[in-house]
Amino acid sequence: MVKINGKDVDAAGRTVADYLQGTSYDPRRIAVERNGDIIPRAQYGETVLQDGDCVEVVSFVGGG
């Protein structure tokens, strides 16, 4: 199991890009953090989520 934004998700073994594809996140508006570090956008396709990973997808909204 991978903890994503506080919830257990059966995403171990999948890449970040693969996981994101099945969600409604807009990839141009997010930052993905795993176990305390930001995953570079260019590495979403090759970063494989591991069992026990703690992931946060930060989705930005407009206004400032």
Partner 1 sequence: MIPTKEEWNKALCRRHGEELQQKFSSATVAICGLGGLGSNIAMALARAGIGRLILIDFDKVELTNLHRQQYKASQIGRNKTEALAENLEEVAPFTELECHTVRLTEENAAHLLQEADVICEAFDKAEEKAMLVGIVLEAMPEKYLVAASGMAGLGSANTIRTRRVAKRFYLCGDGASDVSEAGSLVASRVMLCAAHQAHTVLRILAKQFETE
Binding residues for partner 1, per CB under 8 A? Answer: 26, 28-31, 33, 36-38, 40-41, 56, 58-64
Looking at the Cβ atoms of 13 and 29, the one nearer to partner 1 is 29
Looking at the Cβ atoms of 22 and 36, the one nearer to partner 1 is 36
Rounded to a whole number of angstroms, the minimum distance from the CB of residue 27 to partner 1 is 9
Which residues have CB under 8 Å from 15's CB, separation 6+?
44, 45, 46, 47, 48, 49
CA pair distance 17, 6, nearest whole angstrom: 19
In degrees and rounded to multiples of 5, residue 11 shows phi and psi of -120, 5
Rounded to a whole number of angstroms, the minimum distance from the CB of residue 56 to partner 1 is 6
